[in-house]
């Protein structure tokens, strides 16, 4: 969840997983996955930064609960993030 500000100055909390697109035109318009549109005061870069910070906090909270680095790597892989900085092999193809 991230905190954003409506154009009228009222703060709101938004589930960032619901954001489909963010457009600057000139105000920032967020389109949610259900088609709802929200206009906020923060610029698109700030919205992205808040989403990334929120997800980093979630991942850090999970990492604190894991007994080993290998477990962390598995969680990160599930989240499609790479914390190693090493090149990753191409995903295996399913040949059916």
pLDDT at residue number 96: 45
Angle at 32 between CA 28 and CA 38, to 5 degrees: 40
Determine the Cα–Cα distance for residues 69 and 1; give it in Å rounded to an integer.
Answer: 26
Question: Residue 1 burial by CB count (10 A; 0-12/13-18/19+): exposed, middle or buried?
Answer: exposed
**pLDDT tens sequence across 30-80:** 999 999 999 999 999 999 999 999 998 988 888 777 776 666 667 667 666
What is the mean predicted confidence (pLDDT) over 74-91? 58
- Reported as type and span, the H/E element at residue 16 is none
Domains of the chain, earliest start first:
2-78 (2.40.50)
> With 60 as the cut, is the pLDDT of residue 28 above it?
yes
pLDDT at residue number 69: 64
pTM: 0.69
């Amino acid at each position: 969840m991230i905190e954003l500000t409506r154009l009228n100055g009222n703060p709101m909390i938004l589930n960032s997983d619901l954001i489909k697109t963010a457009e600057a035109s000139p105000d920032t318009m967020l389109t949610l996955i259900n088609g709802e549109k929200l206009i906020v005061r923060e610029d698109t870069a700030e919205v992205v930064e808040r989403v990334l910070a929120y997800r980093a906090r979630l991942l850090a909270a999970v990492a604190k609960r894991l007994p080993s680095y290998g477990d962390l790597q598995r969680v990160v892989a599930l989240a499609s993030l790479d914390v190693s900085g090493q090149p990753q092999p191409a995903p295996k193809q399913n040949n059916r």
